[in-house]
Structures are given as C-alpha cells and as structure tokens.
Chain A
Amino acid sequence: MTVEQAVFAIAAVACMVGALITVTHRDPRTAGAALMVTLVGLAVLYAALAAPTVAAVVILVALFATVPLVVYMSVPAARAHTVDGPAVAGAAVIIGTAVLAILIAAIEFGEVPVNVSLRSSDGYDLAALRELLGGRSAAAAAGSVLLVAASLAAVHAARRDRRRPR
C-alpha cells in the first residue's frame, strides 16, 4: 500500500464514520465533534486530489461556521436576549451575490479570473448524460430511487409510532 492509498483510506473512513455519527448521535457536542472530523477528513481528501485551495477554503469554513455552531450548541447560555450587531443574513446575501456575479461573468466571457475556461467543447457532458439515461447507470439510478423511497417509508413509520398515544 502506498502513502497516497493509506492517506486516502484513513481520510475516507474518518469522513464516513464522522458523517454517520453526526446524523445519528443525539448529543450536540458529539455530533459537532464528528462534523469537525468529517470536514478535516474532506480537507485531506481535497489535498490528495491536488486541490489545496479547496482544502484551505473548507478549513476556513469549518473554523468560521462549524466551530461557532458547535460552541453555541454545547455551551449553555441565556437565550432570552435580543440580537444586536451586524446582520449575518446580510453577509450571506453579499457572499451569494458575489458568487453569482462571478458565475455570470464566467458564463458570459467563457472564463473565470483563475484562467480556467468553462466552455468545454469536447461533449463529455452530453456523453455523461447519455450514459446516465441508459446502460449500467440506469440500474444505479433505479436503486437510488428505491433507497430514497425506503428511507421515506422508514421515516413515516417511525413518526407514526411516535404519534401513537401510549
């Protein structure tokens, strides 16, 4: 096993186990710690995919969004207070507007400021769509639909049992 394979194995297992604990554990501190493990594992995977910029952005998002959330959920504090200060929603609107402007500019001019062209003309996207609609991918798509239907049925059954008077 090479170093790259070992790093991938450890990071992938950490991601999957962390994600599973995040969605299943009731304790917010445990779920928050598991979410942090998942994000760090994802950053390692991005670095292994030769995308250090994406890995750095994931780490920054984890620090500025996930850690405050985990702290808020873990540390008890008086909640009966008014929220004064800069509107976080306004910051999100500004970020979304900036991203939308970059995407529109990229589509209009065919490239983004990082010198990457979005107008690919080799038709690989159409080939992928044809593959998705037929062949082996159709079985995977049908299996995914069945999995989603089974999940919805399980959720409905769990909530029906919860609503029954004891």
Chain B
Amino acid sequence: MTTTAYLIVGAILFATGALGTLIRTSAVGRLVGVELMLAAATLTFAAAAVGFRELDGQVAALAVICVAFAHALVGFTLAAGPRRPE
C-alpha cells in the first residue's frame, strides 16, 4: 500500500478524535478523543518513516506513544479520582 493511504487513515482518525473532543461533555470522553488524535499522529509519523525511508518517524512515533501514555494516566486518574464533598 502507498504511504498516501496510511496518511488518509490517519487524517480520518484525527478528525474523528477532534470531533469526539468537541461533542463529548464528559472528561473521559474528551480524553479519549485526545488519545485518538495522538494515535493518528503516531500513525502519520510511522507512515512518513516508510515514505522517506528513514527510521526517524518510528522514533518520533515511540515518543508520541510515551507522551500519550503519560497523558492517559494523569488524565484518567484525575477524572476518576474521589470527588470533594460539596
């Protein structure tokens, strides 16, 4: 498959994640949308690595996955934490 096909899939995933971030009202829903956008960026990096025939894209994809993992840990912990009594 050509690199363009993977880039199109990444673009659709990014748009879906952005849509989810905008239309969901809960914090977890918005976090999931952001995670989808980060996953789309990772796919774009990996596809660019194949397109340019360099491994830099895969290294960048690993870095983005690590950031997304840390973001998911902190965000979901904050969203699922105990509520303060009102």
Which A residues contact B (CB, under 8 angstroms)?
Answer: 4-5, 8, 12, 15-16, 19-20, 22-24, 28, 31, 35, 38-39, 42, 45-46, 48-51, 53-54, 57-58, 61, 64-66, 69, 72-73, 79-83, 88-89, 91-93, 95-96, 98-99, 102-103, 106, 112, 114, 116-118, 120, 124, 147-148, 151-152, 154-155, 158
A15-B9, A23-B19, A95-B69 given; name 17 further pairs at CB < 8 Å. Answer: A8-B6, A12-B9, A16-B16, A19-B16, A22-B36, A31-B32, A49-B47, A49-B49, A49-B50, A57-B62, A58-B65, A61-B68, A65-B76, A69-B72, A92-B69, A93-B70, A103-B63
- Name B's interface SS: helix
Q: Which residues of B contact A15 (CB under 8 A)?
A: 9, 13
Inter-chain contact count A-B, CB under 8 Å? 153
| Complex contact B23–A88 (CB within 8 A) | no
Q: How large is the interface on B (under 10, 10 to 19, 20 to 34, 35 or more residues)?
A: 35 or more
Are A114 and B56 CB-contacts (below 8 A) given A49-B49, A65-B73, A96-B67?
Answer: no
| Complex contact B56–A151 (CB within 8 A) | no
Q: Please measure, in the bound complex, the distance between the C-alpha atom of A148 and the C-alpha atom of B72, giving whole angstroms.
A: 24
Which B residues contact A (CB, under 8 angstroms)?
Answer: 1, 5-6, 9, 12-13, 15-20, 22-24, 28-29, 32-33, 35-36, 39, 42-43, 46-47, 49-50, 52, 54-56, 58-59, 61-63, 65-74, 76-78, 80-83
